[in-house]
């Protein structure tokens, strides 16, 4: 399996995030990608290559042009107003009943306009790191179009919480959605996106909400209890021509492999029924029992089983790295998914 990875991920290295009422060191940090890469090299999964640059056009197929412009200039605008000694974090957000039609002139206002949390700092290198991650996913999609059975986009920062015109949850550009759209543009009639991250892929759901050509399936912790809280419920099935092309499989805190495997079997059956030509797999490993910000109970061996189950769907598959914050074990768990897939 070819692995696509850019060292420019290091340019996104936030100082702190707001968590549990206090500023804490960022859970989403460069060490995450480093340990995944090290494990992939140790097990000899496959060659690691740099992504091909694809420019901004594929990003504009998924994201709002005004939002992309904001991301490109946000750091410089922040520095002009506040200096470079602290990362850019939003001050306030739009509440129900407040108008969202006008983009504020102030950088503080624009940060709140385009974001949904204070855990996703914008830094001097955010735009370059985020575009390198998107390029990794796009290069993986290129490999599937060229006939590869699988590819792994070792993306950082992650992407599945980023929507058409918003960021949050450590995500700026939705790498999985960008890759799925690229596969559609490249000739795939139907594409499925399966998200196995502990947290609901709210951004991916929003992007494809009214699309019938891209199926989104997410297995995640019940949003009644867990981030991102405000979407990801089982009764959210899509709208318009996309009605029925969105499936949320919610699970309670404490879920172990037995319960998770049942949900994964339901997801696999829905993907087969949909008749997709390719699968994009949002690979979050924060379902691991040792993850510091999650509450499932999967063990490392379960990720081998997960990979085998995904292979059983029988589609060309692009794996795109999302979450996972038990850094010491992240490399093993991610590599186990990919190894389990390759062994089938």
Domain tally for the chain? 1
* pLDDT tens sequence across 278-307: 999 999 999 999 999 999 999 999 999 999
Does residue 303 lie in a domain region?
A: yes
CATH number, residue 49: 3.40.800.20
pLDDT attached to residue 98:
87
pLDDT attached to residue 256:
98
* pLDDT tens sequence across 60-107: 999 999 999 999 999 999 999 999 999 999 999 988 888 778 999 999
Q: Which two tokens stand for residue 75?
A: 């750091």
Does residue 172 lie in a domain region?
A: yes
Residue 161 appears among annotated catalytic residues: yes
User: Torsions phi, psi of 155, nearest 5?
Assistant: -90, 140
Q: Which long-range contacts (CB under 8 A, 24 or more apart) does 81-85 make?
A: 81/106, 81/107, 81/108, 82/107, 84/124
Quick count: other Cβ atoms within 10 Å of Cβ 27? Answer: 20
Give the full edge-to-edge strand order of the sheet including 191-195: 48-49, 2-4, 150-153, 317-321, 278-283, 191-195, 214-221, 246-251
pLDDT attached to residue 217:
99
State the pairing for strand pair 22-24/214-221: unpaired
pLDDT attached to residue 100:
73
pLDDT attached to residue 99:
78
The Cβ-side half-sphere exposure at 99, using a 13 Å CA radius, reads 4
Low-confidence stretches of the chain (pLDDT beneath 70): none
pLDDT attached to residue 101:
81
The answer to whether the Cα torsion of 213, 155, 333, 43 is positive or negative is: positive
Name the catalytic one among 9, 54, 160, 161: 161
pTM of the full structure: 0.98
247 lies in which domain range?
2-64+130-343
Does residue 69 lie in a domain region?
A: no
Closest CA to 161 of 120, 112, 108: 120
């Amino acid at each position: 399996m070819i692995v696509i990875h850019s060292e420019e991920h290091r340019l996104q290295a936030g100082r702190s995030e707001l968590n549990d009422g206090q500023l804490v060191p960022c859970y989403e940090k460069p060490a995450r990608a480093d340990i995944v890469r090290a494990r992939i090299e140790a097990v000899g999964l496959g060659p690691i290559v740099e992504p091909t640059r694809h420019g901004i056009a594929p990003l504009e197929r998924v994201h709002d042009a005004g939002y992309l412009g904001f991301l490109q200039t946000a750091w410089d605008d922040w520095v002009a107003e506040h200096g470079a000694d602290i990362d850019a974090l939003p001050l306030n957000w739009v509440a129900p009943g407040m108008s969202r039609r006008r983009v504020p002139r102030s950088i503080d206002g624009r940060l709140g306009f385009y974001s949904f949390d204070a855990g996703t700092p914008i830094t001097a290198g955010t735009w370059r790191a985020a575009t390198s991650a998107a390029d990794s996913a796009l290069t993986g999609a290129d490999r599937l179009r060229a006939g590869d059975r699988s590819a792994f986009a070792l993306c950082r920062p992650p992407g599945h919480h980023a929507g058409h015109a918003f960021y949050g949850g450590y995500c700026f550009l939705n790498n999985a959605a960008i890759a799925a759209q690229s596969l559609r543009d490249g000739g795939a009639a139907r594409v499925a996106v399966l998200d196995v991250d502990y947290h609901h892929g709210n951004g991916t759901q929003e992007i494809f909400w009214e699309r019938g050509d891209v199926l989104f399936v997410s297995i995640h912790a019940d949003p009644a209890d867990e981030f991102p809280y405000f979407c990801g419920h089982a009764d959210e099935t899509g709208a318009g021509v996309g009605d029925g092309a969105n499936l949320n499989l919610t699970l309670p805190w404490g879920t172990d492999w037995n319960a998770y495997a049942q949900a994964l079997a339901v997801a696999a059956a829905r993907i087969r029924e949909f008749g997709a030509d390719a699968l994009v797999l949002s690979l979050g490993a924060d379902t691991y029992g040792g993850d510091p910000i999650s509450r499932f109970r999967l063990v490392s061996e379960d990720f081998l089983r997960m990979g085998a189950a995904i292979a059983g769907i029988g589609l060309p598959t692009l794996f795109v790295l999302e979450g996972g914050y038990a850094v010491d074990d992240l490399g093993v768990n991610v590599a186990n998914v990919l190894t389990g897939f390759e062994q089938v």
